[in-house]
Amino acid sequence: MRNRLSASVSSDTERQTSNEFYMLNDVVRSLSWSNVTLTVEDRSTKQPRDLISRVNGRVQAGEILALMGPSGSGKTTLLNILAGRNKSSHGTAAVNDASIQASVYKKLTSFVEQEDALVGSLTVRETLEFAARLALPRSVLKAEKGTRVQNLIDSFGLKKQADTLIGTPIRKGISGGQKRRVSVASQLITAPKILFLDEPTSGLDSVASFEVISLLKKYAQQHQLIVVASIHQPSAATFQLFDKLLLLSQGQTCYFGAVSGVAPYFARLGMPVPDLMNPSEHILDLTNTDFDSEDEEGGTASQRLVTIQSAWKEQGNSDDVGTPILEKSDVFPDVQGLGLAHDLGIPVTLLQRLYLKSYRDIVTYWIRVAMYMGLAVMMGTVWLQLSTIQKDIQSFVNALFFGSAFLSFMAVAYVPAFLEDRAIFVKERANGLYGPLSFVVSNFFIGLPFLFLISILFATVTYWLISFRPDATAFFVHVMWLFLDLVAAESLVVLVSSLFPNFIIALALVAFANGLWMSVGGFLVPTGSLNVFWRYVFHYIDYQAYVFRGMMVNEFDGRTYRCAGNVVTGCSCAYESELSGQCKIDGKAVLQYYDYPTGQLGKTVGIMIGIIVVYRVLGYLALYFRK
C-alpha cells in the first residue's frame, strides 16, 4: 500500500487509481465484539443497572449491520461503546480477530451522529472540502483531497447539488435526505475502514431513508467498508438492504445474525411474521414493552420479551462470533495518511470557514448590522444636535449611557449563531478533528473585524448627529470604546453560552447580566451610593461601567457649557467650576460630580482588555471541561 501511495504523484491517471485504491479497505477484514456490557448507577433507584448486557456481534468487510430495537433499548449507547467513545464499558472488541490499540482503532473509524451539524451557509462541495482540510494531514496532497471530495459527491448522488447551499432556517437549501448524505460523506473523507452511524434515517421519509441506506450499502460493498448503523422502524425494502441485524431490547440481545434469518428464527420461536407485515415492524413490536398493560405484574409483553431474550441466550448465539485473540497486534503498521491535521492550519481553516459563513449568513451578519444601524439612526435623531448648554448636559450623559448599554445588550443576538458554531465544534471535537483552543481562537478573531465595522458605522451616524465633542481624536476614542464594549459583550455571550448551551437559558442569562451591568455601572445609582455588596462584588468587574466612564471623560474633559441666564441678568450654573464667573461650566465639573478621574485612558483600556481576556479564558475552560 505504501508503495502505491508514493507512486501516486507520478501521473494523473495513476493518481486516480491509487486514490480509489486508497479509499478501498484492504486493512480491516472483520470487526467483532463479545460480552460488551455497560453498567451504570440507575438515576432513580441508585442500584447498578446494565444499559448493555453481554452483547456479541461480528461484521465482515463490505457488510452493513443494522442495530435495531425500541427507543431506549441502548442503540446509541452501544454505538458509542463500539466506536470507542465510552471508556467505562466491559467486554472485548477485536479487529481481524485481534485486539487493537485504541489510538490505531480511532484512526480506522468514523462516527456519524444522529443530528446533522452542518454549516448552513456553505455549499455541499465546500462542506466536504473543509472536512478534508480539517481532517486530513498535509501529507495528503491537495489534488488528492479534491479527488476524494469529487468521488464522494458522485457516490452519494450529490452531483446536481454540489454547488447548492446546505440551507439555513431562512434560506432554503438541499433536502433533509441530501443533508444526511452530506453528513455521511463528510465522515468518509478520511477513508475510514469502519463507519458507525446513529439513526442515519431519523426524520426522513421512507423514500429518502431507502436512498441513504442503499447509497451507503453500495459504497460499503465497493470499498469493502464495515458499516454499523442504528435504525428505527425501517421500511421492508430498507430493512432488506442490510446484511446483518443486531436486535436489542433493554440492552440485551434478542437476535443477531443475517437479516434473511430473522423471519425463520422468530417462526421457530412460535412468533412468525404475519403475512403482509413488514418483518422489521413485527420484531420491534415483539420486543417493545412500552405499551404493556399496567394492571398485571410483568404484563404479557414483558413476559414475551423475557422468552425471546432467554431463547437467544440458550441457543448459544456463538455461531457467528469469532473468539477474539487477546494480544497486542501489529497488523496495522501502515495507517499512514490516516493521521489528523493537528497544526496551525486548523485555526486558519476554521477562520476561513467562519468567514464564508458570516458574510453569507444573513442572520449572523447583515441582520445584526441592520439592527445596529437602525438603533444608530434612532439615537441620532432622538438626541438630535445637542448643544453646549447646561440644559443638554444630562442628555449627553444619557446618550452615552444608553448607547453603551444598549449596544452591549444587543449582543444577545449573537447567542443563536454562537450555539450553532458550538454544536459543530462539539461534533468535530468528538471526531478528534481539533480542540477547544483552535475553536476559541478562530471564534475570537473572526468577530473582531465585524465588531469594528459596527463600531465605526454606529459612531459615524450617532457621533455627528448628536454633536458630541467635535474633534477627530475624540471621535476615534469614542469608536474605540464602542468596539471594546462590543468585544466584551460578545465575550460574555461566548462564556455564558459555553456554560449553558441552551438557547433560552443563555439568552435569559445574557440579558440578566446586561441588566445587572446597567444597574451597578454608576450611572443609574452613583458608585458612591451603591451598597457594599453591589459595589465590591459587581461594580468593579462591570465592563459597561468602564466604557461609560471612558466615554464620559472623552466627552466632558476639555469642553465647556453655557449656564442658564447670563452675566448681566444673573447666571445659575448646575455644576460649579472655576468658569462660573463667566457663566460657564467646565466639563471637568460634570466628571467630578460622577467621581470620574481624568487622564486614566491607558489604565481603563487595560482593565477592559483584562476583562475580555478573563471572559475568553473562562469560555475556553468551560468548553474544555464540558464534554
Ligand X SMILES: Nc1ncnc2c1ncn2[C@@H]1O[C@H](COP(=O)(O)OP(=O)(O)O)[C@@H](O)[C@H]1O
Nearest approach in angstroms of CB 82 to ligand X is 12
Site string for Mg ion, 37-76 (x = CB under 5 A): --------------------------------------xx
Judge whether 34 and 92 are in contact, CB under 8 Å: yes
The reply on whether position 43 binds ligand X by CB under 6 A is yes
Q: To the nearest whole angstrom, how small is the minimum distance from the Cβ of residue 44 to ligand X?
A: 10
CB of 94 or CB of 284, closer to ligand X: 284
Span of 24-32, 67-75, 325-333, 585-593 interacting with ligand X by CB under 6 A: 67-75
**Residue 229 touching ligand X (CB under 6 A):** no
Minimum distance from CB of 69 to ligand X (Å)? 6
Count of beta carbons in the 10 Å neighbourhood of residue 40: 12
- Minimal CA–CA distance to 420: which of 120, 620, 171? 120
Nearer to ligand X, 132 or 284 (CB): 284
- 73 makes contact with ligand X (CB under 6 A): yes
For ligand X, the closer CB: 40 or 384: 40
357: its cell numbers:
459563513
Query: What type of residue sits at position 477?
Result: V
115 binds ligand X (CB under 6 A): no
- The Cα–Cα gap between 22 and 489 comes to 48
Using the minimum distance from each CB to ligand X, give the nearer residue, 255 or 596.
Answer: 255
Pick 74 or 380: Cβ nearer Mg ion? 74
Number of residues this chain uses to bind Mg ion (CB under 5 A):
2
Please state the closest distance from residue 47 (CB atom) to ligand X, in A: 11
527 binds, among ligand X, Mg ion, none (CB under 5 to 8 A by kind): none
Pairing mode, if any, of strands 109-112 and 194-197?
A: parallel
Q: Which is nearer to ligand X, 77 or 455 (CB)?
A: 77
Buried b (16+ CB within 10 A) or exposed e, 357-369: bbebbebbbeebe
What is the phi-psi region of residue 626: left when phi exceeds 0, alpha when psi lies from -120 to 50, beta otherwise?
beta
435 binds, among Mg ion, ligand X, none (CB under 5 to 8 A by kind): none
Among Mg ion, ligand X, none, what binds residue 40 when CB lies within 5 to 8 Å by partner kind? ligand X
C-alpha cell at 618: 473562562
Regarding 71 and contact with ligand X (CB under 6 A), the answer is: yes
- Cα angle, residue 280 at apex, residues 274 and 283 outer, rounded to 5°: 70
Closest CB 76 distance from Mg ion, rounded Å? 3
When CB distances are held under 5 to 8 angstroms depending on the partner's kind, the choice from Mg ion, ligand X, none that residue 200 binds is none
Tell me if 25 contacts ligand X by CB under 6 A.
Answer: no
Shortest CB 283 distance to ligand X, Å: 14
The one-character DSSP state at 535 is I
Q: Which one of residues 18, 34, 55, 74 is an interface residue with ligand X (CB under 6 A)?
A: 74
CA angle 520/526/528 to nearest 5° reads: 100
CA distances (Å), origin 521, targets 20, 207, 406, 544, 574: 64, 59, 13, 6, 23
Q: Which of 15, 75, 145, 368: binder of ligand X (CB under 6 A)?
A: 75
4, 9, 26, 40: which one contacts ligand X (CB under 6 A)? Answer: 40
Q: Which does 74 bind (CB under 5 to 8 A by kind): Mg ion, ligand X, none?
A: ligand X
Residue among 76 and 175 whose Cβ is closer to Mg ion:
76
Q: Work out how close the CB of 74 gets to ligand X at its nearest, in angstroms, rounded to a whole number.
A: 4
At its nearest, how many Å lie between ligand X and the CB of residue 131?
25
The DSSP bridge partners found for residue 92 are 34
| 77 touches ligand X by CB under 6 A | yes
Q: Which is nearer to ligand X, 284 or 518 (CB)?
A: 284
End-to-end CA distance of the chain: 37
> Is residue 29 helix, strand or coil?
coil
**C-beta separation of 121 from 164 below 8 A:** no
Residues 81-110 that bind ligand X (CB under 6 A): none
Q: From Mg ion, ligand X, none, which one binds at residue 145 (CB under 5 to 8 Å depending on kind)?
A: none
Per DSSP, helices labelled H in 224-335 are: 236-241, 262-268, 279-287, 300-314
Shortest Cβ distance from residue 198 to Mg ion (Å)?
A: 6
* Count of chain residues binding ligand X (CB under 6 A): 11
C-alpha cell at 440: 476559541
Point out which span in 11-19, 64-72, 517-525, 537-545 binds ligand X (CB under 6 A).
Answer: 64-72
Which of residues 69 and 619 has its CB atom nearest to ligand X in the complex? Answer: 69
Amino acid at 150: Q
For position 51 contacting ligand X by CB under 6 A, the verdict is yes
Site for Mg ion in 177-206 (CB under 5 A): none
Pick the stretch among 71-79, 216-224, 451-459, 566-574 that binds ligand X (CB under 6 A): 71-79
> To the nearest whole angstrom, how small is the minimum distance from the Cβ of residue 282 to ligand X?
18
Q: How many CA atoms lie within 13 A of 63 on its CB side?
A: 20
Query: What is the spatial distance between Cα 453 and Cα 616, in angstroms, rounded to a whole number?
Result: 21
Three-class DSSP category at 247: strand
Check residue 288 for interaction with ligand X (CB under 6 A): no
Q: How many Å apart are CA 91 and CA 326, to the nearest integer?
A: 11
Choice from 57, 69, 447, 550 touching ligand X (CB under 6 A)? 69
Let me know if 76 is exposed, middle or buried by CB neighbors in 10 A (0-12, 13-18, 19+).
Answer: middle
Q: Per residue in 501-537, is it b (16+ CB within 10 Å) or e — as a string?
A: beeeebbebbeebbeebbbbbbbeeebeebeeeebee
CA distances in angstroms from 81 to 57, 103, 323, 555, listed in the order given: 13, 15, 19, 62
- CA dihedral angle for residue 229, residue 231, residue 236, residue 237, rounded to 10 degrees: -40
Cell of 339: 493521521
Q: Which amino acid is at 539?
A: H
Contact residues: ligand X, CB under 6 A: 40, 43, 51, 69, 71-77
Q: Rule CB under 5 A: which residues touch Mg ion?
A: 75-76
